[in-house]
Amino acid sequence: MISRSTIDKVFETARVEEVIGDFVQLKKSGSNFKGLSPFTDERTPSFMVSPVKQIWKDFSSGKGGNVVAFLMEHEHITYPEAIRYLAKKYQIEIEETQQTSEEKEKASERESLLLVTEFASQFYSDCLWNTEKGKAIGLTYFKERGFSEATIRHFGLGYNPDQWDAFTRAALEKGYQLDFLEKTGLTIVKKPDRDGGEEKHFDRFKGRVLFPIHSMSGRVLGFGGRTLSNDKKQAKYLNSPESDIYHKSKVLYGIYYAKQAIAREDACYLVEGYTDVIQLHQSGIENVVASSGTALTPDQIRLVRRLTQNIVVLFDGDAAGLRASLRGIDLILEEGMNVRVCTFPPGEDPDSFARKNSREAIEAYLKENARDFIQFKTALLTEEAASDPIRKAETIRDIVSSIARIPDRIKREVYIQECASLMGISEGVLFSTLAQMGRKQARDASEKPRSSGQMAVVPPAPEEARVDMQYELERKIIEMLLIYGKEIQEFEDLVLKENEEGKLVLEPERVQARVFEKVFLDLQEDEIELTNGHFRRIYNALIEKLSGEAEFRVQDLLGELDQDLVEEVSAILMDEEKYQLHNWERRDIFPKAKQHSLAQLVSETILSLRCFLIKKRILALQRETESSVAGDNRETLEEIVNYLQLNKLLNTKLNRVLS
pLDDT for 446 = 60
DSSP string, 122-158: HHHHHHHHHSHHIIIIIIHHHHHTT--HHHHHHTT-E
Which residues lie closer than 8 Å to 575 by C-beta, 6 or more apart?
A: 57, 479
Long-range contacts of the stretch 383-391 (C-beta < 8 A, 24+): 384/323
pLDDT for 318 = 62
Write the pLDDT tens digit of every residue in 129-177.
Answer: 999 999 999 999 999 999 999 999 999 999 999 999 999 999 999 999 9
pLDDT for 456 = 43
Q: In angstroms, rounded to a whole number, what is the distance separating the alpha carbons of residues 515 and 542?
A: 12
Cα 347 from chain centre: 40
The total of other beta-carbon atoms located within 10 Å of residue 391's CB is 14
- Which residues in the chain show pLDDT less than 50? 106, 450-465, 584-592, 656-659
pTM over 0.75: no
pLDDT for 497 = 67
DSSP string, 478-536: HHHHHHHTT-EEEEEEEEEEE-TTS-EEEEEEEEEEEHHHHHHHHHHHTT----SHHHH
Measured torsion, CA atoms of residues 426, 428, 430, 435, in degrees rounded to the nearest 10: 180
Q: At what angle do helices 533-548 and 563-573 cross, to 10 degrees?
A: 80
CA atoms within 13 A on the CB side of 156: 23
Burial of 516 from C-beta contacts in 10 A (0-12 / 13-18 / 19+) = buried
User: 510 with 491: CB under 8 angstroms?
Assistant: yes
Which residues lie closer than 8 Å to 495 by C-beta, 6 or more apart?
A: 506, 507, 508, 509
DSSP string, 617-638: HHHHHHHHHHHSSS---HHHHH
In terms of DSSP H, where are the helices of 66-225? 67-75, 79-89, 101-105, 109-130, 132-133, 140-144, 149-154, 166-173, 178-183
User: 382 with 391: CB under 8 angstroms?
Assistant: no
Write the pLDDT tens digit of every residue in 413-460.
Answer: 998 998 888 888 888 989 888 888 877 766 766 665 544 444 444 444
Burial of 220 from C-beta contacts in 10 A (0-12 / 13-18 / 19+) = buried
User: 29 with 50: CB under 8 angstroms?
Assistant: no
The total of other beta-carbon atoms located within 10 Å of residue 133's CB is 15
Return phi, psi of residue 249, to 5°.
-75, -10
pLDDT for 581 = 55
pLDDT for 98 = 63
DSSP E strands in 253-349: the ranges are: 268-271, 288-290, 310-315, 338-343
- In the chain, the domains with their CATH numbers are 4-105 (3.90.580.10), 109-246 (3.90.980.10), 255-442 (3.40.1360.10), 469-580+595-653 (no CATH)
Strand-pair partners of 33: 28, 49
